[in-house]
Each structure stands twice: as structure tokens, then as C-alpha cells.
Amino acid sequence: MPFSHHSHSGQFCPGHAKDSLEEIIQLAISKKFHTFCLTEHMPRHEEDFYPEELETNTTLTSHIANEAAYFAEATRLRAKYASQIQILIGFEIDWIRPASRTLIEDSLSRHPFEFFMGSVHHTLTIPIDYDRALYETARERAGGSDAQLFEAYFDEQLDMLQQLRPVVVGHFDLIRLKSDDPERSFTLWPRVWEKILRNLDFVAAYGGLLEVNSAALRKGMSEPYPKGEICKEFLARGGRFCLSDDSHGLDQVGLNFHRVVPFLEQAGISTMHYLALGEADSGGEKVDPRFPRTQIKSVALAEVKEMPFWAP
């Protein structure tokens, strides 16, 4: 797809991604992307650092400095390439515990970000997508089963949604990545499925976008995040979708988008949405007073399929 609402660079997400932000934007331009959103990770408390961060002199202070450098460079690059691509500058949140909200609000106060990606990467404060060992630790803390951990994940996701109402909800069902069977239907766990539907109801009610995230495909799964069964339920609730590659380097920009189109068609999704910047009379829908210039616009999937992105 010629849109992505979720991306990272090695320059500002070291140890987790690769390549410079400018190289990634240049590649998106060469691939004829229409809109490319920048969403480096927010600062985290030191108790939540990943193993590679603990091996260096990383601190919350250095995270905040990195965020400032990211915003400055993103602003420079957007101006430099303004005639070639539409860029929005946001960040991806980490909802870990109630104190996460303070960190998120601090980021919003420091820089005029244009949106944030509402994501959950931890359950019961333990990373659930980093590796299998940490996933198993979280599962034991939840009670010992995948179903119990999934219930805890979707409860914490609801807390994030209710407190923050993110314009875009990131990889809605990320919890399945390291589970025993990532392909298993959520409907086989009635209590889990009930919580999923509850969360979809909430997102649809406030008008948030659910990203269709192709990263699940490069990680070996047969469907993007979220699974088709979730997309169909969100669509039935009047829910709206945007597109993301969740790229962490040059080799992942636009990766597997050709596989996303038939997935969307099979799910019955015929209209896609994307973020844009504009004034009140520029034709988009204003969605959040925190981001006064950010709008949601729509485009037919049939029209998307004719865009220059797909040209050989």
C-alpha cells in the first residue's frame, strides 16, 4: 500500500531497528508512497528497558534526549522532502502501567506531535513480543495459560484505550505473536473473544482507526495484525482501517503489502483511511483536539490499487 502509519529507524530506535531515518524516507519516496508516518518509540522508565538497553548506559534522560533529536530530524526531513511525500510526525506509546500515562503526556507537552500510535507491548509489566522466554514469564504471571494471558492483555489494552483514545490503535492482537499457536482463532476462547469485541466496540465508538499491520506476515503468520475475524467484527461496527508496514529498516518498507490487498478484500474492507495534515476547510475529518491539524481522510481500496506504488 502507498500508506504506512507505523515505522522505526535504527537512528532513533537503536538495537531494535536499523538504517537512518533519511534513508528510510528516501526509500519510501522511491517506492512512491503517498503518506509515510514516523512513529519512533516514546521514552520509558528504566525499569522497563530491554536487555540490550541494560547493557549500555541508557537512561530515561537519554531516552528524552533521543526523542528531541528524533523530532528535530523528522521536522528537517519533512521540510526537505515536502514536495515528494506526505510525512506526519508521531510516536508509538508503550502502555505498561498507570505511570505510563505521565510519560506519554510529557512527550506530548515537549513536542507538537501530530498523533501517537496506541500500542501495548507488555502485559503485567512484562514484554510479550520480545522473545519466547519473556512471553512465558508473563504467561506464568497471568496464571499459566495463553488464554489467561490474552485476557490480561486485552484488559490492559482497554485501560489504554479508555485513558488515551489513540487516533490509531497499533497491532491490536500482538499478543498472539509468541503464543503456542498464533494462528488459533480467538473465538475458541469465549472469554478472550468477549474482551476483544468489547475493545472493538470502544474504538469504533470514539472513531479510532485500527491499523492493518503487515509485520505479522514477515514474522511467519498467515494474516496481518489483526486477524481477519477481528477485522470483520470491527467493520460490522462501522470501524475504520488504516495501513502500516511497521518497518524497522530499509528491507521492511512496504514489505508484504501485495499480500495485504487480498486479505482486505476477503475481510470485506473496501475503504481505507489515512492521516493527513490540513486546516479546517481542507476536506478531512478532525478527530482529536490534541492534534488540531491532523485529519482522517478516506480512499476506496479500488483506487488505492491503481496508485503508482504498484507500478513495476
DSSP conformational letter for 227: P
DSSP string, 80-102: HTTTT-EEEEEEE----STTHHH
Q: Is the pLDDT of residue 281 over 80?
A: no
Can you tell me the distance from the alpha carbon of 42 to that of 104, in angstroms, rounded to the nearest whole number? Answer: 7
pLDDT at position 10, please? 86
pLDDT digits (tens, 9 = 90+) for 103-137: 999 999 999 999 999 999 999 999 999 999 999 99
Average pLDDT over residues 265-281: 90
pLDDT digits (tens, 9 = 90+) for 168-210: 999 999 999 999 999 999 999 999 999 999 999 999 999 999 9
Q: pLDDT category, 50, cuts 50, 70, 90?
A: confident
Residues 16/131, Cβ–Cβ less than 8 Å: no
Between CA 91 and CA 179, with CA 119 as vertex, the angle to 5 degrees is 140
Q: Does pTM top 0.85 for this prediction?
A: yes
Residues 276/35, Cβ–Cβ less than 8 Å: yes
Domains belonging to the chain, first-starting first, are 3-310 (3.20.20.140)
Can you tell me the distance from the alpha carbon of 157 to that of 150, in angstroms, rounded to the nearest whole number? Answer: 10
Q: What percent of the chain has pLDDT over 70?
A: 97
Q: Indicate the residue type of 138.
A: A
DSSP conformational letter for 247: B
Q: How far is CA 243 from CA 64, 119, 148, 254, in A?
A: 28, 15, 29, 10
Three-state DSSP class for residue 295: strand
Mean pLDDT of the chain: 94
